[in-house]
Chain A
Amino acid sequence: EDQVTQSPEALRLQEGESSSLNCSYTVSGLRGLFWYRQDPGKGPEFLFTLYSAGEEKEKERLKATLTKKESFLHITAPKPEDSATYLCAVQASPNAGNMLTFGGGTRLMVKP
């Protein structure tokens, strides 16, 4: 059974204080790993897709990396508007269609 574990569950940062969020996964065969951002009461917003170990992607203050067992979302000099829940999900094979298996998320709060 595919499993995704995110840590920490919650993270409080001061504005400008860089940090990393962790996503550990156990899958039978990884097809892709996805990062989403979710604001309270809203649907997840797509950030990145990573397909193979060693791959990195960047967008503004965010950088996602992937190894064979985990992924990191690095946040550089965060701002209060980066406060949200960050979700990690994997799509694996064999697989039920295009099912995504999500972790529990990391709730990030950035204080000014």
Chain B
Amino acid sequence: DAGVTQSPTHLIKTRGQHVTLRCSPISGHKSVSWYQQVLGQGPQFIFQYYEKEERGRGNFPDRFSARQFPNYSSELNVNALLLGDSALYLCASSLAGTGRAETQYFGPGTRLLVL
């Protein structure tokens, strides 16, 4: 079975541009979460979506937005890119995202470099 997939694998942008990152969850998983991982640090939570609705939001500016589609795939959008947005962006999926703490399975990530 395919795991979580993300595209693109790498991306180079310049300051002020916008970027769209994509994620497909494990088949049967309905919850998708996004994390940002700066080099040398642990991942930081950005968003969770379940059944196309936002269920959680981390401490990130409004330049970050996301959405989930009927097939449970998801997009993360970042506007007005800053140098500090350079990071590994991780997508994680889980079955339902509610109730008892569920295991989240991570994709390989998208490496974003902002110049």
Give chain A's interface residues, CB within 8 Å of chain B.
4, 6, 31-32, 34, 36, 41-46, 49, 51, 87, 89, 91, 95-105
Contact = CB atoms under 8 A, between A and B. Distances in A.
A105 B98 CA distance: 26
Contacts of A43: 4, 90, 106-109
Given A43-B107, A46-B105, A49-B101, A98 B42 contact: no
Nearest to A102: B42
A49 B95 CA distance: 15
Contacts of B109: 41-43
A4 B44 CA distance: 12
Nearest to B4: A43
Q: What range describes how many residues of B lie at the interface?
A: 20 to 34
Contacts of B31: 98
Interface in B47-90: 48, 50, 55-58, 88, 90
Given A43-B109, A44-B106, A46-B105, A104 B42 contact: yes
A31 B108 CA distance: 26
B7 interface: no
A105 B37 CA distance: 12
Given A34-B104, A105-B41, 18 more contacts: A32-B101, A44-B43, A44-B106, A49-B101, A51-B100, A51-B101, A87-B43, A96-B55, A96-B58, A97-B33, A97-B55, A97-B97, A98-B33, A98-B48, A98-B97, A99-B45, A100-B35, A102-B43
B22 interface: no
Nearest to A9: B40
A99 B48 contact: yes
A71 B33 CA distance: 24
B1 to A, nearest CB: 14
Given A97-B48, A98-B33, A102-B44, A46 B103 contact: yes
Given A32-B101, A98-B33, A44 B48 contact: no
Nearest to A105: B42
B41 A95 contact: no
A98 B55 contact: yes
A40 B94 CA distance: 23
